[in-house]
Amino acid sequence: MIFIDACFRKKTPYTPVWMMRQAGRYLPEYMEVRNRAGDFLTLCKNPKMACEVTLQPVDILNVDAAILFSDILVVPLEMGMDLRFEKGEGPIFDHPLKNREDLKALKVEEAALRLDYVYEAIKLIREKLDRDKALIGFCGAPWTLATYMVEGRGTKTYSLVKKLLYTDPDFMHTLLRKVTEVLKLYLQKQIASGVNAVMIFDSWASALEESAYFEFSWKYMKEISSFLKKRNPEIPIILFPKGISGYLDKIDGDFDVFGVDWSTPIKLAKDKLFDKYVLQGNMEPMRLYNKDAIKEGVERIVEVMGKKEGHIFNLGHGILPDVPVENAKYFIDLVHEMTKR
């Protein structure tokens, strides 16, 4: 698999490329399945439908890897929290975590078992996916999940979770420890079910100052990665902390690929991390609205990263819902063409 070879810095005929959120609303085919499901969580919990939408961008765009269709918040859902998705508002937990009794009620081993619909979807996808295409499994980072679990929804201020972090760090570490244990089991079961690589998304990394980030987020991501690498050295681990370009000097750990977000200059990431990790990224997603902007963006990244091993092309965050499909395809084809060895 070209994608897996690239994760281990092996020779490939071109730089592989895929997109975060590539199985999503910009595809009419996805919307048809989503409408058939009735609601987002039903789609996530239906292995056949999850399989169908996971495969769509591989067939339509010719990306080099499929990423499992699911949601990071199925983990706290199966830990015992009540999750719903509201149109225009996103995910909502009606009873966010407030005290130690709430913490005690969270399930760990049982949660990993209750995610069987994810493992079933993986088995179906791997069965139908071309052998030369990789399947990426994933989860949210403990800090990102904990943020939702305490705030109850998306937030711009992080006021509740950061207040807890500084006034009751023991509460936060207890929560992060529980989430970390679930994620270890969850990703190990994803690997056992057939994924070829795993990625950990820390969407809210930039909410934390440097010392807090390494204590309350990166430490737990590293722990999960080390746990998996010891058991599955052949499985690439990708870590994606969004918005921490100022902390790159302190990045370390037992993983293979570092995801570079669009706000981090790719040259900076190369200078700081390229000798240790393969880099993935980091095209500005908004460039996909215009083909000239796409071409300019790809050229800039190729100018820095070259056509050598050690790079995987991706967006610096997820593709937007109203991007024209033809532009997404243009991006994938252009990367393949421009990076031929």
Which residues are identified as catalytic?
Answer: 21, 25, 34, 71, 148
Task: Give the Å distances, CA to CA, from 92 to 25, 53, 127, 215, 328.
Answer: 20, 24, 34, 27, 30
Task: Please name the residue that has the structure tokens 């593709």.
Answer: 319
What the block records as the tokens of 87 is 């149109």
Number of other CB atoms surrounding residue 279 within 10 Å:
23
47: left (phi over 0), alpha (psi -120 to 50) or beta: alpha
Task: Give the Å distances, CA to CA, from 266 to 205, 280, 282, 287, 314.
Answer: 18, 9, 7, 16, 12
CA distance 191 to 151: 30
What the block records as the tokens of 234 is 């052949």
Q: Give 258's strand partners.
A: 239, 279
Task: Give the Å distances, CA to CA, from 291 to 26, 284, 288, 295, 322.
Answer: 16, 13, 7, 6, 15
Side-chain-side CA neighbours of 101 within 13 Å: the count stands at 1
CA distance 295 to 305: 15
Q: Give 281's strand partners.
A: 260
Name, in order, each residue with C-beta under 8 angstroms of 203's C-beta and a sequence gap of 6 or more. Answer: 72, 140, 141, 144, 242
- Quote the DSSP letter at residue 92: E
